Structure 1
């Protein structure tokens, strides 16, 4: 397996150095924390995927052991774990769903079906937890609190990521000989809501993630995806610097920049994907880690930290652009499945 490299932006040796910067902050149990010290399952999985891409398989597998250790009986993970203890005890639906993306990615990259099979019970519990939070309309609410009460609303970015998680889980089940038609049905229902029912989600439109994630997660592609990206391009993309985290602040962030790179690559827009990837390299530190963001009016790194999840997004974007590993197309392929409308939701799209 080769290591990703993107000419003019990042070398294979630099990718490995970036992966080692992630491993350097991994704790004794295999958890990969945020700079402030807590661990959440979504960002943790992203870091495991990046280390797998760069060949740090042992470190990644320790991270999957962490997931198995901290999964709860209902299939969820605490929102935040610090010092081995849950400090925010609710369970987020998108955190649980992303575990399926991670295990499917590991199988694509390593070909290790035995490992995937060993993780399968964890994945099934996680996605059953997720599907249990789906509403009648089809969106998936963002959490179940520590008392077991579902949230009153759904988040667009989270649901878009969940869509990819459900599709990954379906593919993984088919590979392992344990098909999951209920997850496929849930993904179709969710995909339709993501594409046709913006009113189903809380308004977080100032965040760039709400702009590109329906495309990145695979629910909105083709002409509708292209239209969505064009509509807010000038709002969020800062030439030569990267992508804003929020529309109303002069602040570009590395993770959002690289997720837009993955989105553009998934759309087949390689030229702009390469340009954004090259633009965000100003956030690279000499040790291979990446600053979280840059406040371009004050000309300061903000927050003043280097985050493992940013490094992970860089590596996954580099892999997508280079096609170096068998998992390089995991985001591109998330949009391969045509969303089937099941039942009549009453909207014009469904009647058509």
Structure 2
């Protein structure tokens, strides 16, 4: 386990890569909103208020009128113009987390319109069955499919958005209904999502995002534990490669902590510390067959996940329960969730 001082040093390694315009980039230089927000959350835990404020100003500056952001920006210029639903949604998690950590109501009120526009954009991509498709392209056309990991993250975002709305006296009941329907699809309808099962994120994210909790969550994690967990090193990014990654391992730590499985959470967090650099940053991953860091980079999003996991385990900030406290109540009535509308007609099950 790392100390509070070490967690702050890791957050400072994120601040060190923040660009002059406030964006927090990937190692190759582009910024995407989801990872940018996660980095702001880690810096909030460490009390790095000025970099966080600049990061939220970046978000406000680049949000488009319909509520989305470009998938990728380089030096503030969109290079992939489509708008991902889970990217837009995650600003709600970031702002709720910032409010929990700082209690700064004025800051929360200032950025509330940004969150409202973002979550309404996301809600507009929900299908009749309940999944939320992954993007609108540059022409505004919605994608034909949904991603399980992305929708699991959106579930958490909608729950955080509801809490923000209630706290500010501006209820958004359609977000809550959307979260209920999404939770049901995540728990009961794997066929609603594109098959990305080789990625560990598709394994644990329904738990991390709060859609699956309780005994079902333990059963879900046990199902692929041996596939993805490499004792002493962390977890694989993908099932078919000898490659463990820090961000995915720390997210599984958060999922285990959310279930109260503290022993395995602590073990995995200790295991992944081999990726920690002496300056507090974290290598993205380790290729354990070739015994080398892969890719040969230290990424802000990996450092951010490490800080958030440390916060959950050590209680470093008032936001340490962010992932534990998600209300994952799902709608069970198929008429409400939309299952009936998309049910395969009798006799056509094999078509």
Deviation at 1:58, TM superposition (A): 1.2
Query: In structure 1, what is the Cα distance between the partners aligned to 2:266 and 2:224?
Result: 19
- With structure 1 as the length reference, what TM-score do the two structures score? 0.95
1:292 correspondence with 2:284:
yes
1:170-220 CA distances to partner (integer Å, 9 max, x unpaired)? 000000000000100110110100000000000000000000000000000
Q: What is aligned with 2:349?
A: none
Q: What is aligned with 1:338?
A: 329
Asked whether the 8 Å contact 1:91–1:145 carries over to 2, the reply is yes
Q: What is aligned with 1:199?
A: 191
Q: What is aligned with 1:179?
A: 171
Q: Secondary structure at the match of 1:30?
A: coil
Deviation at 1:247, TM superposition (A): 0.2
Q: RMSD across aligned C-alpha pairs, in angstroms? A: 1.1
Q: What is aligned with 2:296?
A: 304
Determine which of 209, 214, 220 is the counterpart of 2:206. Answer: 214
Q: What is aligned with 1:165?
A: 157
Deviation at 1:346, TM superposition (A): 4.6
Asked whether the 8 Å contact 1:189–1:342 carries over to 2, the reply is no
Query: In structure 2, what is the Cα distance between the partners aligned to 1:111 and 1:205?
Result: 39
Query: In structure 1, what is the Cα distance between the partners aligned to 2:332 and 2:100?
Result: 29
Determine which of 253, 263, 276 is the counterpart of 1:271. Answer: 263
| Structure 1 spans left out of the alignment, 5+ residues | 1-8
Deviation at 1:320, TM superposition (A): 0.3
Determine which of 118, 122, 126 is the counterpart of 1:134. Answer: 126
1:70 correspondence with 2:79:
no
Q: Secondary structure at the match of 1:87?
A: strand
1:256-279 CA distances to partner (integer Å, 9 max, x unpaired)? 000000000001100000000000
1:49 correspondence with 2:41:
yes
1:6-25 CA distances to partner (integer Å, 9 max, x unpaired)? xxx21111111111100000
Distance change >3 Å, CA 308–CA 217, structure 1 → 2: same
Q: Secondary structure at the match of 1:332?
A: coil
Q: Secondary structure at the match of 1:303?
A: coil
Query: In structure 1, what is the Cα distance between the partners aligned to 2:147 and 2:333?
Result: 22
Q: Secondary structure at the match of 1:19?
A: helix
Determine which of 310, 316, 338 is the counterpart of 1:318. Answer: 310
Alignment of 1:22-171 (within 5 A): 22-171=14-163
1:257-310 CA distances to partner (integer Å, 9 max, x unpaired)? 000000000011000000000000000011110000000000000000000000
Q: What is aligned with 2:348?
A: none
Asked whether the 8 Å contact 2:129–2:339 carries over to 1, the reply is no
Distance change >3 Å, CA 148–CA 346, structure 1 → 2: closer
Determine which of 235, 247, 257 is the counterpart of 1:255. Answer: 247
Asked whether the 8 Å contact 2:183–2:328 carries over to 1, the reply is no
Deviation at 1:83, TM superposition (A): 1.4
Q: Secondary structure at the match of 2:187?
A: helix
| Structure 2 spans left out of the alignment, 5+ residues | 344-351
Deviation at 1:342, TM superposition (A): 5.3
Query: In structure 2, what is the Cα distance between the partners aligned to 1:337 and 1:298?
Result: 41
